[in-house]
Amino acid sequence: MSDHNGSPTRPEAALSPTELGVLEACAEAAARRRELLPALADTIGVAADAVFYAWVLRRDWLLRTAGQHGRLGDTGWGYFFHGYECDLRHDDGRLLRFDFGPGGRVDTFTMWGVLQFIATSTAPWPEYLELKSRLTEPVSGASPFGGTTRPMASVWDALTARGAFEPAASDLVALQARYTTIGPDGLNHVRFPPGTPEATQVDCAVANRQTLSPVGLRLLQAHAVGTAGSPGN
């Protein structure tokens, strides 16, 4: 393999077991969100691709009809909308966060959402016992873990440096940056031109949420191929 100058490129180094586990959890959580999205959509009475917009753009309507929180029938799951997210919590303690992306997509994620998934996932989902011991701090009470992100952050930074993640919509990230200034308070202030559709503004707000990049998908695929070719598999 060569780069654009014709020089040999270094093969991608193998992932550590912890890095691989986190990458697998990112993909698994996305699959579970796709699996549960239709039930959430049915519960609040909208199409699957409109769930995000029902909360951020039609909030008054949603609060009057389905409510900010409720139950997904008799599935054992409850939902709670907040910010630009929705948390699904099962009676058995599993927690699945929808960190919505542009267009209402649900393959997007944040480090905190993935950490919550790892910390609470249990049968019939993967249990990630080794990852839990490495990345979480068990505590007593209702919380499933201590909430520290320090161990996870180092793994996340390593995967980011490997190029395993990418923004959900780089073009929208650039669009928002064009209309962002730093105010006297030191904070970023976004002011879109008059007439910019609300949906576009909302999509820009979540455009920087991460998805698995082609590199990340390739790393997962390489592991799957290596595992399939290993003795005893």
- pLDDT digit string (tens) for 22-55? 999 999 999 999 999 999 999 999 999 999 999 9
Distance from C-alpha of 89 to C-alpha of 36, rounded to nearest angstrom: 11
The residue whose two tokens read 């542009």 is 102
Q: What stretches of 136-213 show up as alpha helix (H) in DSSP?
A: 150-161, 170-178, 198-206
* pLDDT at res. 227: 58
1-5, 96-100, 108-112 — which is least confidently predicted?
1-5
Model confidence, pTM? 0.86
User: Which tens digits make up the pLDDT trace of 102-142?
Assistant: 999 999 999 999 999 999 999 999 999 999 999 987 655 54
Any long-range contacts for 85-94 (C-beta under 8 Å, 24+ apart)?
A: 85/113, 86/40, 86/51, 86/55, 88/36, 88/40, 92/122, 93/120, 93/122, 93/144, 94/120, 94/121, 94/122, 94/125
User: What residue spans define the domains of the chain?
Assistant: 17-164
Task: Give pLDDT, residue 170.
Answer: 97
The pLDDT value recorded for residue 140 is 52
Mean predicted confidence (pLDDT) in 65-75: 97
pLDDT at 230 over 90: no
Mean pLDDT check: name the lowest of 31-40, 190-199, 221-230.
Answer: 221-230
Average pLDDT over residues 199-204: 97
| Percent residues over pLDDT 70 in the chain | 87
Q: pLDDT band at 226, cuts 50/70/90?
A: low
Residue 10: what pLDDT?
39
Instruction: Specify the pLDDT at position 96.
Output: 98
Query: Does position 216 have pLDDT exceeding 50, yes or no?
Result: yes
Is 90 exceeded by the pLDDT of residue 90?
A: yes
